[in-house]
């Protein structure tokens, strides 16, 4: 049973992890995009629509990535080119995304979706326990792990990653060093959008292969919180995402176990657990002021206009 529960946790956590990773890169470049929920739901509807029309969930994944990325361009244009306020633009993006996705998806409501099938690694998948859990998953799960490793390498080992972090910490200095701040930020915003779109694709192709309005149901907000929770470090996103997912699934099992034991626990308290747990863990890991400050992009959310 433990294995089955773990598989459920993975499915529930993957979209949070993927979307949060994208937002992490965006925020590391100094841009705060609160529109994750909107980009995620756009990704979900694009992925579902493309999969239905083409018959292939892989086309759906591409469409989800593309849809989220394209949608984030709107945010990029407003906040980077026109230096509109990032917080307000991000929230407006969510309003627009929820409306637009509903409009696009209207014809797809009630259609049974195409589920993205797992890719089973031969031999490796025969390893007891780990084989099923780690090597018989769908593409998006593998991508989520690859993203963690890749982003970690990119941010802390690659030259471009160093530039990106430099921009996030001080766009003026980075600009003075000849780094193209706006172009890099555009790319970072689009990467964030693409990841949110991929997370959306996971919702409509893996988690629950169907399209219904608002199906992201607030997961974009959780992803945003995860970035802060992880203090802008990729590995911690993985940990935070799985913690949140595990507590969420755990509380459902706790309900049934409590019933078996005849204990009364109001389900609202159990439902509140993931949120409370996130706060508590953050308190524990953030008491060291210095490490938190080092990782927080100093120019996060601040507008930048190159002077010439």
Partner 1 sequence: MRIELQKRANVSTLFSIISPLLALLLTLVFGAIMFWLLGKSPLGSLYIYFVEPLLEVWSLHELAVKAAPLILIAVGLAVCYRSNNWNIGAEGQFTIGAITGSILPVLYPEWHSWAILPMMMVMGVIGGALYAAIPALLKTRFNTNEILTSLMLVYIAGLFLDWLVRGPWRDPKGYNFPVTKSFQVEAVLPEILDSGRAHWAFIFAIVAAMALWFMMRFMLKGFEVSVLGQSERAGRFAGFSARRMAWFSMLLSGGLAGLAGISEVSGSIGHLQPSISPGYGFTAIIVAFLGRLNPLGIIASGLVLALTYLGGEAAQAALQISDKAARVFQGMLLFFVLSCDTLIHYRIRLILAGGKTAEARA
Partner 2 sequence: MKKLIIALAASAALMGGFSTGAQAQEKKKVCFIYVGSKTDGGWTQAHDLGRQQLDKALGDKVETKFLENVPEGPDAERAIERFAREKCSLIFTTSFGFMDATVKVAAKFPDVKFEHATGFKSAPNLATYNSRFYEGRYIQGQIAAKMSKKGVAGYIASFPIPEVVMGINAFELGAKSINPNFKLKVVWANTWFDPGKEADAAKALIDQGVDILTQHTDTTAPMQVASERGILAFGQASDMIAAGPKTQLTAIVDTWGAYYIKRTKALLDGTWKSEQIWDGLKDGILTMAPYTNMPDDVKAMAEETEAKIKSGELHPFTGPINKQDGSAWLKAGEKSDDGTLLGMNFYVEGVDDKLPQ
Q: Which of 33, 89, 144, 251 binds partner 1 (CB under 8 A)?
A: 89
Cβ count near 281 (within 10 Å)? 16
Cα–Cα distance measured from residue 93 to residue 216, given in angstroms and rounded to the nearest whole number: 15
**Pair type for strands 136-137 and 119-120:** antiparallel
Of 32 and 49, CB closest to partner 2: 49
- Which span (124-132, 142-150, 156-164, 288-296) binds partner 1, by CB under 8 A? 288-296
Dist. CA 297–CA 168, nearest whole Å: 5
Nearest to 72 by CA among 219, 198, 189: 189
Residue 287's binding partner, choosing from partner 1, partner 2, none, with beta-carbon cut-off 5 to 8 A by kind? partner 1
Any contact of residue 271 with partner 1 (CB under 8 A)?
A: yes
Rounded to a whole number of angstroms, the minimum distance from the CB of residue 241 to partner 1 is 14
Using rule CB under 8 A, residue 117 touches partner 2: no
Q: How far is the CB of 307 from partner 1 (least distance, A)?
A: 7
203 part of the interface to partner 2, by CB under 8 A: yes
The residue from 53, 83, 294, 298 that contacts partner 1 (CB under 8 A) is 83
- The site string for partner 1 over 187-226 (x = CB under 8 A, - otherwise) reads --------------------------x-------x--xx-
Residues 6+ apart with CB under 8 A from 279: none
Task: Find the part of the chain contacting partner 1 (CB under 8 A) among 92-100, 116-124, 137-145, 253-261.
Answer: 92-100
The answer to the question of residue 78 lying near partner 1 (CB under 8 A) is yes
Select the residue interacting with partner 1 from 109, 127, 276, 294 (CB under 8 A). Answer: 276
Residue 230 has φ and ψ, to the nearest 5°, of -80, 5
Two tokens, residue 176: 């003075």
- Is residue 283 a contact residue for partner 2 (CB under 8 A)? no
Residue 170 near residue 15 (C-beta atoms within 8 A): no
| Candidate list 6, 59, 73, 102; residue touching partner 1; CB under 8 A | 102
Q: What is the dihedral of CA 238, 218, 136, 252, to 10 degrees?
A: 100
248: partner contacted, choices partner 2, partner 1, none (Cβ within 5-8 A by kind): partner 2
Distances (CA, A) of 302 to 77, 154, 169, 297: 15, 23, 11, 10
**Helix (H/G/I), strand (E/B), else coil: 137:** strand
User: Does residue 302 touch partner 1 according to CB under 8 A?
Assistant: no
String of contacts with partner 2 for each residue 248-277, x by CB under 8 A: xx--xx-xxxxxx-xxx-xxx--x------
- Say whether residue 4 binds partner 2 (CB under 8 A): yes
| Whole-number Cα distances in Å, 191 to 185, 196, 237, 243, 253 | 10, 9, 16, 24, 36
Contacts of 32 (CB under 8 A, 6+ apart): 26, 86, 87, 90, 300, 301
3-class DSSP assignment, residue 192 = helix
Positions touching partner 1 (CB under 8 A) are 74, 78, 81-85, 87-89, 91-93, 95-100, 102-103, 106, 213, 221, 224-225, 228-229, 266, 268-269, 271-272, 275-276, 278-279, 282-283, 286-289, 292, 305, 307-308
């Amino acid at each position: 049973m433990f294995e089955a529960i773990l598989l459920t946790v993975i499915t529930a956590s993957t979209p949070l992890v993927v979307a949060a990773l994208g937002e992490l890169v965006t925020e590391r470049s100094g841009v705060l995009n609160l529109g994750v929920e909107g980009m995620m739901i756009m990704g979900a509807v694009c992925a579902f629509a493309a999969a239905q029309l083409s018959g292939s969930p892989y086309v759906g994944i591409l469409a989800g990535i593309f849809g989220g990325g394209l949608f984030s361009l709107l945010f990029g244009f407003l906040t980077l080119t026109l230096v509109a306020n990032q917080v307000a633009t991000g929230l407006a993006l969510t309003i627009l995304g929820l409306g637009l996705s509903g409009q696009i998806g209207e014809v797809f409501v009630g259609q049974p979706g195409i589920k993205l099938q797992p890719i089973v690694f031969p031999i490796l998948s025969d390893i007891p326990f780990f084989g099923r859990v780690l090597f018989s998953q769908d593409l998006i799960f593998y991508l989520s792990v690859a993203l963690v490793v890749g982003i970690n390498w990119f941010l802390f080992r690659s030259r471009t990653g160093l530039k990106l972090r430099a921009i996030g910490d001080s766009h003026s200095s980075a600009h003075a060093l000849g780094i193209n701040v706006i172009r890099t930020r555009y790319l970072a915003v689009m990467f964030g959008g693409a990841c949110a779109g991929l997370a959306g694709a996971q919702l409509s192709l893996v988690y629950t292969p169907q399209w219904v309005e608002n199906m992201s149901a607030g997961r974009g907000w959780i992803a945003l919180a995860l970035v802060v929770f992880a203090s802008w470090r990729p590995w911690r996103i993985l940990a935070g995402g799985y913690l949140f997912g595990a507590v969420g699934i755990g509380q459902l099992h706790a309900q049934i176990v409590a019933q078996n034991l005849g204990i009364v626990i109001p389900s609202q308290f159990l439902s509140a657990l993931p949120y409370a747990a996130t706060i508590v863990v953050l308190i524990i890991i953030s008491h060291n002021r210095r490490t938190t400050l080092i990782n927080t992009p100093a120019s996060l959310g601040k507008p930048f206009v190159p002077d010439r």
